[in-house]
Amino acid sequence: MNLSLTINSTSHETTCPASESLLSALRRLGYYGVKFGDEHGLTGADTILLDEKPVNAGLILAAQAVGHVIVTIEALAPYSPIPVGEGLGARSRLHPIQQAFVETGAIQCGYCTPAQILAAKALLDRNYNPTEAEVREAISGVLCRCTGYTKPVQAVLRAAAVLRGEPANSEQPALSKVEGLSVISGFAAAPEMPPTEELIADSGSLITTQVAPKIVVAPEAKPYQVVGKPEVKVDAVKLAQGKPAFAADIELREMLHAKVLHSPHAHARIKKIDVSKARALPGVAAVLTWQDIPRVVYSTAGQSDPIPGPLDSFSLDNKIRFVGDRVAFVAAETSEIAEQALRLIDVEYEILPALFDSTEAMKPGAPILHDEPEYVPFAVCDPQKNLAAEIRIDIGDVNKGFAEADEIFEAEYVVPKVQQAHIEPHVAMTYWDEDDRLVIRTSTQVPFHVRRQLAPVLGLPVKRIRVIKPRIGGGFGGKQEILIEDVAAHLTIATGHPVLYEYSREEEFTASRSRHPMRVRMKTGVKRDGTMTANEMYILSDTGAYGCHALTVTGNTGQKSMALYVGDGEYRMSPNIRFYADIVYTNHTPSGAYRGYGVPQGFWAVERHMEKIARALGLDPLEYRLKNAIHPGEFHPFSTAWNEGREPHPETIHTVGLEECVRQGKAAIGWDEKYGNQEWRTSAKYVVRSAHVAPRTAHCRKGIGVAMVMQGTAIPYLDMGGASIKMNDDGSFNLLVGATDLGTGSDTVLAQMAAEVLGVPTEDMLVYSSDTDFTPFDKGAYASSTTYISGAAVVKAAQQCADRIKVHAARLLGLSDYQTIRLSNKQAIAPDGRAISLTEIALDSLHHSDQEQIMGVASYVSSSSPPPFAAQFAEVTVDTETGAVRVDKLVMAVDGGMIVNPLTASGQVEGGMTQALGYAVCEEMLYDEKGQPFTRDFDRYHIFRADEMPELETIFVETFEPTHPFGVKAVAEIPMDGVAPAVGNAILDAVGVNIDENPVTPEKVWMALKATTDQHR
Ligand code: FES
């Protein structure tokens, strides 16, 4: 049908099928700012304004929009030429809401940003002075998995102030001394913010936002010009504008759309498959089954060579192992035709007995999932026992430690399967270039692993594959999996056409990867004074149908969480730790990498267990933990025994800021006033009112809890990052990195470090990441390694550049020793104060004398994996009648080394705490008895909205890590680790019941309370 659509005041005549959604039509017409997030509009990524109201473009037909006023993000900052003299930093044409999102650090991956901005615009167009609660409600229809909403809310309030004509508060953080330590306080709230009491009266929300975190500055901190500053993200402007930055934001001629037929059965063999009707459907270009492509065994886990896990997957197989496994691929002119073709494929299955209980997996007679002869094991691995991996680590003499204990505490803990739930689904586009090389444009965390691992699968040499990683709309480990690239690539190889394959949200839930569910048994020996004498953990981990990350995720569970507590006194010198694990196949959706990489599972068990022990022995829970926690100068206990299946190397931990984290966190949460305070626990005046939990105050109890956690920073002797930097004619630089910024801000912090070394502002570093043809190798974004590993490579490359700049400057300034020159303020400055600009040096080196391209290329591998540490606090209200738990406040004090960018780092902590909050109280993937997934959308899998959030507070306790030039450690994963146990411990504090299986749902709390009541009857 022919339609006339008025989009951003421009009339478009277009022809489309009657069934085309407005989302599809808008993107087809080039409005890429509107995004696909899910089929039901529940992510809100497809939000546009229709007659000034936010609506889901994916839920209405294009035809229904005829005669209405459509506004997309592209209307907010229409193009106009940049005036002469202004550089890329010119942002004056942004709408005030976009400007505020950029300035406050409200943009991480940016996939939800256009929708959030439009939702905010609809609010501010009718209410120029909203309360914070009104802002939260207005953007609550747009899910964000990255930010925790703190900064987006502040951005909207800031924009409101600007639109009211008030000057936005753009003060930079100011230094002040607190208790002998320098403390940076955050940005003040936007002007005219109503006081907290007013917010309570207006809406029930108790939340007030603060953009920048508190930072306890390390004594070694230097007064850097760029590093340590809240620099604007290098990609923030284009993301705020909704520019076509993501993998699916381009359209190629004759592009085909891919769809996959997924298995309806959990375990079956394909006896017969007839695709003749599907192939005959007009518009279908290819239908592929297991008979049509080479049978190459591989692992979908994007990891370094050799893959530390079994090779047990095929692009297509004649056996399927979970509901959602692949059966056939289709490429067609439209996705609707491809869907239709899927329905025309006839498959005859031989149903096999299935395995859903990990405790049954290794028993004799259990169904065998992997009986294929091509299976390639890694380390201890036995497919005949459904064993994907086995770990047995003994440190010290555990049996002697237990014999010396006064008390032994044993308990079992259970953690669920949960989803990464990045708002941008997996998406890949493949095409042949003019040299007949296969280009894979994909939303991946691991472009170089994609190229290396897919080459044999596709039957192409590595040199004939180019992988381009554009902006990524969140990954959280889910895109460390090589999950869909092969589908599009096989179809491009079969048809010669470009192919786009984008997961639906249902596919994300049923055919993607997720966090390993585990049963964790703890046994701990303790003396009466609280000295731990031995600690033991056994894990039964469910890897699902394939063993992707089976060994390494579960290995991390023990390696990180069991390393934190080593004991005290003689036990500190020689800790007694045992960590055993069996990682088994079942017919569930495969598990894989998810932010935290096994460690959140471990700390749920360790920190719930520590709390119980402290209470049982009558010890202060903070002092008991600190007494046994590892100290600086001690060996990482696991470094002598394990390194992800490779050779271990003993490693000393240099920096541990845990005690200061506890001190800061205690003060922020009000621990001393609340812990053990019966009046606070029970008095109605302390029980918060909430819009979402309706507490009957007489039945509500307050509680406070803590968890201490540690993570790692990269994988030592393995993770490698590379960087190259070249100088341009005007003294700016191109920084090329293979590291992948998946919304974390890593491009920005890498640019900051390079800019610091080269004495230029961050905007003079033009960052490009990543393209396997142009950028140096990097193992990708995982293991909390980018700032540390790739950052060290960037610093090395920048130092090489700096040396060449100084050599040229010395000649131009007539100096004999170039090393006396320093670079600052875009100049090379001699000891006597004479200076020459980098522009002059660049022109001279490129065009005039001693000509050379000033550049640096470097790579870095670390022999260390310095752990970050944190103290996580939670305050909750529990309704004893319903079991409903309201988390009122989360405080996290983190030692992540030196902080390169407080805005991006605190954004990581806020977003991580929010994901972890879902892990604590509501997120869980559920299956029926036949392995059918119950959770297939964001209705049945709830992630937190802006209007449901507790107050979040982030504190950085800096320590200077000596193994990195700027003293950094990791910060991205550790926020995932402590929220769930801190909430669990707070519930114990509130109502005296232990919930050992997360998420802690109202049903579980109510059942536990009822059991206690029944016991006392
Ligand atoms: S910034 Fe919101 S989903 Fe990534």
Burial classification of residue 1017, based on how many CB atoms lie within 10 Å of its CB (0-12 exposed, 13-18 middle, 19 or more buried) = exposed
| Distance from the alpha carbon of residue 13 to the mean position of ligand 1, in angstroms | 33
Give residue 989 CA to ligand 1 midpoint distance, Å.
Answer: 34
Which is the closest atom of ligand 1 to the Cα of 473?
A: 4
What distance in angstroms lies between residue 772's CA and the mean position of ligand 1's atoms?
Answer: 26
The arithmetic mean of pLDDT across residues 935-953, rounded, is 97
- Cα–Cα distances (Å) from 527 to 112, 424, 552, 566, 623, in that order, read 52, 50, 33, 13, 15
Q: What is the mean pLDDT of residues 862-867?
A: 87
Nearest one of 516, 509, 663 to 592, comparing CA atoms: 516
Atom number of ligand 1 nearest to Cα 116: 2
Neighbours of 682 (CB within 10 A): 15
Q: Which of 47, 239, 423, 914 to mutate to test the pocket of ligand 1 (most atoms within 8 A of CB)?
A: 423
- For 852, counting Cβ atoms within 10 Å of its Cβ (0-12 exposed, 13-18 middle, 19+ buried), the class is exposed
Burial class, 252, CB count within 10 angstroms (exposed 0-12 / middle 13-18 / buried 19+): middle
- Work out the end-to-end distance of the chain between its first and last CA atoms, rounded to an integer number of angstroms: 72
Distance 107 CA to ligand 1 centre (A): 7
| Per-residue pLDDT at 313 | 97
Give the mean model confidence (pLDDT) for residues 784-804.
92
> What confidence score (pLDDT) does residue 786 get?
82
Mean pLDDT of 422-451: 97
915 CA to middle of ligand 1, Å? 12
- pLDDT tens, residue by residue, 594-607: 999 999 999 999 99
| pLDDT exceeds cutoff 90 at 557 | yes
Mean pLDDT along residues 163-177:
58
pLDDT band at 687 (very low <50, low <70, confident <90, very high): low
Q: Where are the alpha helices (DSSP H) in 562-708?
A: 570-573, 599-616, 621-628, 658-669, 671-674, 678-682
pLDDT at 84: 53
Position 676 scores a pLDDT of: 93
d(CA 398, CA 266): 41
The per-residue pLDDT for 953 is: 96
Which ligand 1 atom is at minimum distance from the Cα of 110?
Answer: 1
Flag whether pLDDT at 393 surpasses 80.
Answer: yes
- What's the CA-to-centroid distance between 111 and ligand 1, angstroms? 5
CA of 864 to the centre of ligand 1 (A): 31
Count of Cβ atoms closer than 10 Å to residue 640 Cβ = 14
Mutate to test the pocket of ligand 1, among 43, 147, 479, 505 (most ligand atoms within 8 A of CB): 147
Q: How confident is the model at residue 688 (pLDDT cuts 50, 70, 90)?
A: low
Ligand 1 pocket test, candidate residues 42, 47, 111, 150, most atoms within 8 A of CB: 111
CB neighbours (10 Å) of residue 839? 15
Which stretch of 490-504, 576-590, 633-647 has the lowest confidence by average pLDDT? 633-647
Residues 219-259 pLDDT 10s: 999 999 999 999 999 999 999 999 999 999 998 999 999 99
Question: 444 alpha carbon to ligand 1 midpoint, in Å?
Answer: 16
pLDDT tens digits for 586-642? 999 999 999 999 999 999 999 999 999 999 999 999 999 999 999 999 999 998 887
Task: Give the pLDDT band of residue 690 (cuts 50, 70, 90).
Answer: low
Q: Is the pLDDT of residue 898 over 80?
A: yes
What pLDDT was estimated at residue 86?
52
Q: Cα–Cα distance between 807 and 78 in angstroms, integer?
A: 45
Confidence of residue 779 (pLDDT cuts 50, 70, 90): confident
pLDDT band at 1013 (very low <50, low <70, confident <90, very high): confident
Q: How far is the CA of 632 from the centre of ligand 1 (A)?
A: 36
State the average pLDDT for the chain. Answer: 92
- Provide φ and ψ at 821, rounded to 5°: -85, 140
Closest to 444 (Cα-Cα) out of 742, 57, 35? 742
pLDDT tens-digit map of 99-148: 999 999 999 999 999 999 999 999 999 999 999 999 999 999 999 999 99
Q: How many Å apart are CA 255 and CA 492, to the nearest integer?
A: 10
Around 752, how many Cα atoms within 13 Å sit in the side-chain half-sphere? 25
Atom number in ligand 1 closest to CA 112: 2
Distance 176 CA to ligand 1 centre (A): 33
The Cα–Cα gap between 500 and 255 comes to: 7
Task: Give the residue whose CA is nearest to atom 4 of ligand 1.
Answer: 109
Instruction: Please give the number of the atom of ligand 1 that sits closest to the Cα of 146.
Output: 4
Rg (CA), the chain: 28
Q: Percent of the chain at pLDDT above 90?
A: 85
**Pair type for strands 700-710 and 465-468:** unpaired
- In what side-by-side order are the strands of the sheet with 577-585? 387-395, 577-585, 532-544, 518-526, 407-415
Q: Indicate the pTM of the whole model.
A: 0.93
Question: What ligand 1 atom has the least distance to the C-alpha of 474?
Answer: 4
Residue with tokens 């919304």: 743
Burial class (CB in 10 A: 0-12, 13-18, 19+), 289: buried
Test site for ligand 1: of 144, 149, 742, most ligand atoms within 8 A of the Cβ? 144
Among residues 790, 796, 836, the alpha carbon closest in space to that of 812 is found at: 836
- Say how many C-beta atoms besides its own lie within 10 A of residue 371's C-beta: 10
Q: State which ligand 1 atom lies nearest to the alpha carbon of 106.
A: 1
Closest Cα to atom 2, ligand 1: which residue? 144
Residue 726 CA to ligand 1 center (angstroms) comes to: 31
Structure confidence by residue, pLDDT tens digits, 970-989: 999 999 999 999 999 999 99
Is the confidence at residue 201, as pLDDT, over 70? no
In tens, the pLDDT along 42-101 reads 999 999 999 999 999 999 999 999 999 999 999 998 766 655 555 544 444 799 999 999
Mean pLDDT of 961-966: 94
Ligand 1 geometric centre to CA of 911 (Å): 9
Closest by Cα among 49, 62, 32, 188 to 117: 49
Ligand 1 atom with minimal separation from the 422 CA: 3
Q: How far apart are CA 255 and CA 410, in angstroms?
A: 59
* Residue 637, both tokens: 């206990």
Pocket of ligand 1 (CB under 6 A): 107-113, 144-147, 423, 474, 743
Atom 3 (ligand 1) nearest CA: 144
Q: Could you read off the pLDDT of 452-493 as tens digits, one per residue? A: 999 999 999 999 999 999 999 999 999 999 999 999 999 999
Task: Say what the pLDDT of residue 181 is.
Answer: 39
For residue 430, the CA-to-ligand 1 centroid distance in Å is 25
